[in-house]
Chain A
Amino acid sequence: MNDNKPKASEEQLVYADLLSNGAWTGIGILVVTFIIYVSGLLPNIVEFDKLQTLWKLRAAEYIHETGAPTGWGWTSLLNNGDMLNFIGVAVLAGMTIVCYLRVVPIFVRKKDTVYLVITFLELFVLLLAASGILTAGGH
């Protein structure tokens, strides 16, 4: 009976499998790094007791006051507990990019030109956002 149910397309199933693994990996990393963070095993860029006064500020002012990194600057500060959490955040925010890259060869093989173009355009948009090139004016 179940075999007669309509099946999702190959690219959809591949995308789903990869997304599932990545999402739960990201959430797992997030939890583990958070435990390391709050346990105080590593030093922090911004100490806990200072955070309470700083999280009321705009993001730009917070960065100015603390010297916390923007863009991908956190990658060079992974010996700090608070920065360690960004690994999980980056995995979660990066999974869609990985999944889009994964379906490219499937669309190529199927000669699905329209969806191949859509995939490349989406990759361009997401990579542009992730690159940190786009910055807005702060207040």
Chain B
Amino acid sequence: MLTRIKKYPGALSLLIIVVCCILMSGAVFVYASMEPAPPPPTVSDTAWWVWPLGLFVFTFVLGIVAVLGGVGGGVLYVPIVSGFFPFHLDFVRATGLLVALSTALAAGPGLLKRNLASLRLSMPLALIASAAAIAGAMIGLALPTNLVQTLLGATILGIVFILLLAKKSDFPNVPKPDALSSALGIMGIYHEESLGKDIEWHVHRTPQALFLFVVIGLMAGMFGLGAGWANVPVLNLLMGAPLKVSVASSVFLLSITDTAAAWVFINKGAVLPLMVVPSIVGVMLGSRIGVRILATAKPKAIKWMVIGLLFLSGLRSLLKGLGIWN
């Protein structure tokens, strides 16, 4: 098994995602009828403007840390805000999706123009992922909150393992494109500035990737996480797209997948402007600062900090969902 994983690095991410999926379906049965009655609303002494201001400051820092740590803002936003802010998970997930969507919409066009994000690679995968994301959003809104919170915690801890274990490959070896990617014409060429030459690429294992994007879409919709953490390993390690193409196409994919799920949350009335706007503006401003700091910072140390943050917030989410740490 280990030899096989070493031989096919994409198998690791596949294995982790499938295991997460199995755990999730198991937990559904365990928790199906366990949601406790919601506590009665209490009057708060805190001025209303403290929370959006707090969100803005938090998301500004988050935007910086996310860029330096090489992760999307959404994946940090949902577990931390749902764990440490007073908002219900429904509103946090909706806002998390809109934060991920906004950053993807802002970054996507530049990546498309530079031919780093590929429309031909993204469109078939996005179709599968967006349909699954709608299902995920609907499931997430219908399931008991403590179950979703528990699954979110388990997923975040799974993401920590992906970040710790998954290797990246700048230019994966793709001996022969598979029949499906050839039929779809999924291939491309981009200019690699660091090497000063054009890189031609094509992909393989497209059917397996399409299957995984069902799972990724479901999780993105259900938890409002964005899905760069899962997109990149599948595009890069499983399909064999160059790392830059994988990262850029992942950002563009988010703009489509999260759109689908976001509409479900909008139509269900789960969008609070007082949360959404400060969060979007905070993350976007923070990301801009983060990009500037990136030139001089030591990203490796910050990546460990992000992994630590994710681990803590995942653990908090898991324990909160299980009723151990409320």
Rounded to whole Å, the gap between the CB of B242 and the closest CB of chain A is 13
Q: How far is the CA of A38 from the CA of B137 in the complex (A)?
A: 29
Q: Which of A15, A19, A122, A134 is the one whose CB lies under 8 Å from B127?
A: A122
Q: How far is the CA of A122 from the CA of B8 in the complex (A)?
A: 31
Q: How far is the CA of A51 from the CA of B91 in the complex (A)?
A: 12
Rounded to whole Å, the gap between the CB of A55 and the closest CB of chain B is 5
Count of A-B residue pairs with CB < 8 Å: 226
Please name all residues of chain A whose beta carbon is closer than 8 Å to the beta carbon of B265 when the two chains form the complex: 59
Asked if A76 lies at the interface with its beta carbon under 8 angstroms from chain B, I say no
Q: How far is the CA of A89 from the CA of B95 in the complex (A)?
A: 11
Query: How would residues 185 to 209 of chain B score, 1 for a CB under 8 Å from any chain A CB and 0 otherwise?
Result: 1001111000000100000000000
From B116-124, B165-173, B302-310, give the one contacting chain A.
B116-124
Q: How far is the CA of A105 from the CA of B123 in the complex (A)?
A: 16
Contacts of A94-115 to chain B: CB distance below 8 A: 95-97, 103, 114-115
Asked if B255 lies at the interface with its beta carbon under 8 angstroms from chain A, I say yes
A125-B130 contact in complex given A16-B109, A96-B259, A138-B141, C-beta closer than 8 Å: yes
Asked if A42 lies at the interface with its beta carbon under 8 angstroms from chain B, I say no
Q: How far is the CA of A65 from the CA of B178 in the complex (A)?
A: 54
Q: How far is the CA of A119 from the CA of B127 in the complex (A)?
A: 8
- B residues lining the A interface (CB < 8 Å): 35, 38-39, 41-44, 46, 48-49, 51-52, 86-88, 90-91, 94, 98, 101-102, 105-106, 108-110, 112-115, 118-120, 123-124, 126-127, 130-131, 134, 137-139, 141-142, 144-145, 183-185, 188-191, 198, 255-256, 259-278, 280-281, 284
Whether A58 and B88, one on each chain, are in contact in the complex, defined by CB atoms closer than 8 angstroms, is yes
Counting contact residues on chain A (CB < 8 A from B), the size range is 35 or more
Rounded to whole Å, the gap between the CB of B261 and the closest CB of chain A is 8
Whether B115 and A86, one on each chain, are in contact in the complex, defined by CB atoms closer than 8 angstroms, is no
Q: How far is the CA of A48 from the CA of B50 in the complex (A)?
A: 11
- A residues lining the B interface (CB < 8 Å): 5-9, 11-13, 15-17, 19-20, 22-24, 26-27, 30-31, 33-34, 37-38, 48-49, 51-63, 68-72, 82, 85-86, 88-90, 92-93, 95-97, 103, 114-115, 118-119, 121-122, 125-126, 128-130, 132, 134-139
15 residue pairs bridging A and B, Cβ less than 8 Å apart? A8-B114, A12-B112, A12-B115, A13-B113, A23-B105, A27-B102, A51-B48, A51-B274, A52-B51, A53-B41, A57-B88, A58-B88, A59-B94, A122-B256, A129-B130
Please name all residues of chain A whose beta carbon is closer than 8 Å to the beta carbon of B123 when the two chains form the complex: 115, 118-119, 122
Please name all residues of chain A whose beta carbon is closer than 8 Å to the beta carbon of B138 when the two chains form the complex: 134-136
Closest to A20 in B: B109
Q: How far is the CA of A70 from the CA of B265 in the complex (A)?
A: 10
Closest to A8 in B: B115
Rounded to whole Å, the gap between the CB of A27 and the closest CB of chain B is 6
Rounded to whole Å, the gap between the CB of B125 and the closest CB of chain A is 10
Whether B274 and A15, one on each chain, are in contact in the complex, defined by CB atoms closer than 8 angstroms, is no
Q: DSSP class of A's interface residues: helix, strand, loop or mixed?
A: helix
Whether B131 and A55, one on each chain, are in contact in the complex, defined by CB atoms closer than 8 angstroms, is no
Q: How far is the CA of A114 from the CA of B102 in the complex (A)?
A: 29
Nearest first, the 9 A-B pairs at minimum CB distance are A85-B273, A20-B109, A23-B105, A16-B112, A59-B270, A53-B41, A129-B263, A136-B138, A59-B90
Closest to B131 in A: A125
Rounded to whole Å, the gap between the CB of B152 and the closest CB of chain A is 15
A52-B48 contact in complex given A16-B108, A92-B101, C-beta closer than 8 Å: yes
Q: Which of A19, A63, A119, A121 is the one whose CB lies under 8 Å from B105?
A: A19
Please name all residues of chain A whose beta carbon is closer than 8 Å to the beta carbon of B115 when the two chains form the complex: 6-8, 12
Q: How far is the CA of A93 from the CA of B130 in the complex (A)?
A: 13
Please name all residues of chain A whose beta carbon is closer than 8 Å to the beta carbon of B43 when the two chains form the complex: 52-53
Whether A55 and B113, one on each chain, are in contact in the complex, defined by CB atoms closer than 8 angstroms, is no
Closest to B221 in A: A129
A92-B144 contact in complex given A16-B112, A54-B41, C-beta closer than 8 Å: no
Closest to B190 in A: A6
Please name all residues of chain A whose beta carbon is closer than 8 Å to the beta carbon of B35 when the two chains form the complex: 139
